[in-house]
Structure 1
């Protein structure tokens, strides 16, 4: 498979593993890169010294392209940006912030930049900022999300209509069939989070992964819209948030309930009652934790089968 995405990142397949907090360490990123995709270290849950350690380890674990995801609203973002430059990182995905703030600096240092957006208005801002690749993330995605609640199937063609930049589809994509659908809608590739989060190489706690596998249809909710919308598996903590919001809680009351380290508590330490369990809607289709090698093989096989089926006589009019 060769297209805009494989060419810009110099990878075999247009499949990018999302940089998820508490799931995307060097081990997962290296595994995806070694299978022909693009692995990303999720720096959103890392202090600079921790990120430096993960970068050192992935350099030894793969000779294939890889990158780092940096949420731009995180407190240590300036240090993280300087660190990836110092360490010679070649690919950076940014999210949750204004791409204009750091894109020029990254590109001046030879770094390919992708930025995550949730509406077509930001496509032009990304182009003007010099971003190389867009990631269009729909409402189905896990973790921090857009308030606009636009689904991936609506978002991709809308953004495709407004930009010629290489485009990745994200949100609700966990199978080869979903990948084929995203490409049909105008994407050049896909960014996959939840399916890789539930992998043997994920750094998430086994208790969290069990919750992902057990999640059923309707098992996640988008909450905390007054602060920063986030999609979570239903649990005791999310129920507490819902009850507080239904009483018209203020932002400060929600902040007090949230406290510190909820995502780490749930996803990394395994407190499935009181922690944030960030995962996408596609979790209801995940019934097994698998090694990355098997996940990639499943994605590619199902994608090919889907394309071949759609090219058959039954789908010709």
Structure 2
């Protein structure tokens, strides 16, 4: 399965585990990397000293490449970037911000940089900023998302048509068939989030993992676009958000309801009523909690089987 992405990251399979907040610690990242994919630490839910600890532990747990995902809407960015450089991390995925901010600084130190986008416009801006690859993430994805509501399988061929650098598909991909479909449409690799939430090594609370595997079609919705669009499972907090929308709320009222640490409360601490439970639409296709290595192995096996099956069409 060697291609531009496996060569860029020096990995066996073109499968990237998304660097999700409250889910993607060193155990998950190292497990995916050891299985032949690319594991990512989710810096968005880590204070700088915690991130350093996870990088150190990840380096001890794997001798394979791994990276760090850095959402640029969070504080302490300068310190986080400095820690990444000091600890010798070789791959950085940036998201939710201007790709020009740190790309050159990181590349000058030999770091491979990838930026996450939700539109053709931002894919072109990322390419102009000098990134090595882009992740094009569709509307189906969990967590913070783009406002355009462009689906993954619409977005991928449109981005592919306009850029020259490697392309990674994200949003709504949880198995080998989805991986093959994305690559047929022009992706060089896939980034997988929700499926790895429901892994043994994910740092998500067991309550949240259980709710993910019990989710059905239609159990998630993208909302809070006035703040930062986020797809989450419907629960008590979600219903409170919907109730507030009936009153034509201001941005400040929405922010007051959201408060602080909602995502931590839900995904990390397991509060299924008042927490923010971020997950993708594909949760309806996730039915069990498995070791990350098994998830990678099954994706690769299903990919190869599906590729053979379509040759007869």
Q: Distance between the aligned counterparts of 1:122 and 1:87, measured in 2? A: 29
User: Which residue pairs with 2:9 in the alignment?
Assistant: 9
Q: Structure 1, residues 282-309: CA drift from partner, whole Å, max 9, x if none?
A: 0000010011121111101110111000
Q: Distance between the aligned counterparts of 1:100 and 1:88, measured in 2? A: 21
Q: Structure 1, residues 249-286: CA drift from partner, whole Å, max 9, x if none?
A: 11000111001000000000000000000000000000
User: Which residue pairs with 1:102 in the alignment?
Assistant: 102
User: Which residue pairs with 2:288 in the alignment?
Assistant: 288
User: Which residue pairs with 2:44 in the alignment?
Assistant: 44
Q: Distance between the aligned counterparts of 2:148 and 2:246, measured in 1? A: 20
Q: Distance between the aligned counterparts of 1:43 and 1:211, measured in 2? A: 24
Q: Does 1:164 align with 2:171?
A: no
Q: Does 1:229 align with 2:224?
A: no
User: Which residue pairs with 1:277 in the alignment?
Assistant: 277
Which sections of structure 2, spanning at least 5 residues, go unmatched? none
CA positional deviation for 1:77: 1.3
The RMSD of aligned alpha carbons is: 0.6
What does 1:37-186 align with in structure 2 at a 5 Å threshold?
A: 37-186=37-186
Q: Quick check: 2:177–2:303 contact (8 Å CA) kept in 1?
A: yes
Q: Distance between the aligned counterparts of 1:246 and 1:104, measured in 2? A: 45
Count residues in correspondence: 313
Q: Distance between the aligned counterparts of 2:79 and 2:182, measured in 1? A: 35
Q: Does 1:32 align with 2:16?
A: no
Q: Distance between the aligned counterparts of 2:235 and 2:126, measured in 1? A: 36
Q: Distance between the aligned counterparts of 2:291 and 2:264, measured in 1? A: 23
Q: Quick check: 2:123–2:136 contact (8 Å CA) kept in 1?
A: no
Could you tell me the TM-score, scaled by structure 2's length?
Answer: 0.99
What does 1:195-274 align with in structure 2 at a 5 Å threshold?
A: 195-274=195-274
Q: Secondary structure at the match of 1:222?
A: strand
Q: Distance between the aligned counterparts of 1:192 and 1:3, measured in 2? A: 18
User: Which residue pairs with 2:308 in the alignment?
Assistant: 308
Q: Secondary structure at the match of 1:30?
A: helix
Q: Secondary structure at the match of 2:7?
A: helix
Q: Distance between the aligned counterparts of 2:194 and 2:234, measured in 1? A: 16
The ranges of structure 1 where at least 4 consecutive aligned residues each deviate by more than 3 angstroms after the TM superposition are none
Q: Distance between the aligned counterparts of 2:185 and 2:128, measured in 1? A: 24
CA positional deviation for 1:246: 2.1
Q: Structure 1, residues 148-185: CA drift from partner, whole Å, max 9, x if none?
A: 10000100000000001100000000010000000000
Q: Distance between the aligned counterparts of 1:163 and 1:21, measured in 2? A: 28
Q: Secondary structure at the match of 1:99?
A: coil
Q: Distance between the aligned counterparts of 1:156 and 1:194, measured in 2? A: 19
Q: Distance between the aligned counterparts of 2:123 and 2:203, measured in 1? A: 32
Q: Secondary structure at the match of 1:23?
A: coil
Q: Distance between the aligned counterparts of 1:120 and 1:128, measured in 2? A: 12
Q: Distance between the aligned counterparts of 2:245 and 2:165, measured in 1? A: 39
